[in-house]
């Protein structure tokens, strides 16, 4: 799956991209995000119908679901701290948070945005796949990188609704999100 209506979970289901396009045509949703490392991302951005979506963001992805591995978009150098020996993002977000090299995180997230733009996507926002940049497991987040990229590409960052009400936020995260 590559497209995800904002505020939903990303399940890998055959036909999801087509279903999301149908929801747009029915005016049932107004925004989506594309997961550039997904295998079907190329097909999604090359679909002429996708170009009609007015509000499409980049779903910044640093982790894989257990049943399908995603590979990094950045290919110039290996991203050892972000991937398994199979060159797929880790499924364990706590492990990612604890071991990721910040320079590698920046290179990968920036590559995802640049790739989308190079394919004709005009992103309207950035958001996070599986909360992988929020630091929800260990408290080590990658928000500063994401927000720097927002500034670089002049895009807003969409946070989940009611993020400040979540019981798992530590005090530092709460203060960051409430600013």
The tens place of each residue's pLDDT in the chain, 179 residues long, gives 344 443 333 334 457 777 877 787 787 777 888 899 988 887 777 776 666 677 889 999 999 998 889 999 999 999 999 999 999 999 999 999 999 999 999 999 999 999 999 988 899 999 999 889 988 888 899 999 999 999 999 999 987 777 777 666 678 777 776 76
Domain segments of the chain as ranges: 3-178
Q: Determine contact, residues 105/145, Cβ cutoff 8 Å.
A: yes
Bridge partner residues of 57 (DSSP)? 33
The pLDDT score that the predictor gives to residue 162 is: 72
Q: Provide the pLDDT for residue 174.
A: 74
Q: How far apart are alpha carbons 109 and 130 in whole angstroms?
A: 14
C-alpha triplet 137, 143, 148: angle, nearest 5°: 165
* Cα gap 33→108, rounded to integer Å: 17
102-to-32, 60, 79 alpha-carbon distances in Å? 27, 15, 11
Q: Could you tell me if 172 and 139 are in contact, meaning their C-beta atoms sit under 8 angstroms apart?
A: yes
Place of tokens 């991937």: 83
Residue 160 CA neighbour count, 13 Å, CB half: 17
Rounded Cα gap, residues 70 and 74, in angstroms: 12
Query: Which pLDDT value is given to residue 159?
Result: 78
CA distance 151 to 14: 35
The distance of Cα 14 from the centroid of its chain, to the nearest Å, equals 19
**Res 50: pLDDT:** 66
97 neighbors 137 (Cβ within 8 angstroms): yes
Sequence-distant (≥ 6) Cβ neighbours of residue 97 within 8 angstroms: 132, 135, 137, 138, 139, 140, 141
pLDDT at 27: 78
- 3-178, what's its fold? TIM Barrel (3.20.20)
């Amino acid at each position: 799956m590559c497209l995800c209506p904002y505020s939903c979970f990303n399940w890998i289901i055959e036909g999801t991209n087509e279903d999301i396009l149908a929801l747009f045509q029915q005016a049932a949703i107004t925004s989506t995000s594309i997961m550039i490392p997904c295998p079907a991302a190329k097909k999604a951005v090359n679909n002429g119908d996708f170009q009609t979506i007015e509000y499409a963001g980049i779903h910044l992805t640093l982790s894989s679901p257990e049943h399908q591995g995603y590979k990094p978009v950045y290919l110039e150098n290996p991203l050892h701290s972000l991937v398994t020996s199979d060159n797929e993002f880790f499924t364990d977000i706590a492990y990612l948070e604890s071991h990721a090299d910040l320079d590698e995180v920046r290179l990968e997230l920036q590559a995802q945005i640049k790739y989308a733009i190079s394919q004709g996507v005009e992103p309207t926002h950035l958001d996070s796949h599986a909360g992988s940049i929020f630091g929800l497991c260990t408290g080590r987040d990658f928000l500063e990188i994401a927000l720097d990229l927002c500034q670089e590409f002049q895009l807003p960052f969409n946070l989940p609704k009611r993020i400040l009400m979540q019981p798992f936020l530590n005090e530092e995260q709460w203060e960051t999100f409430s600013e």
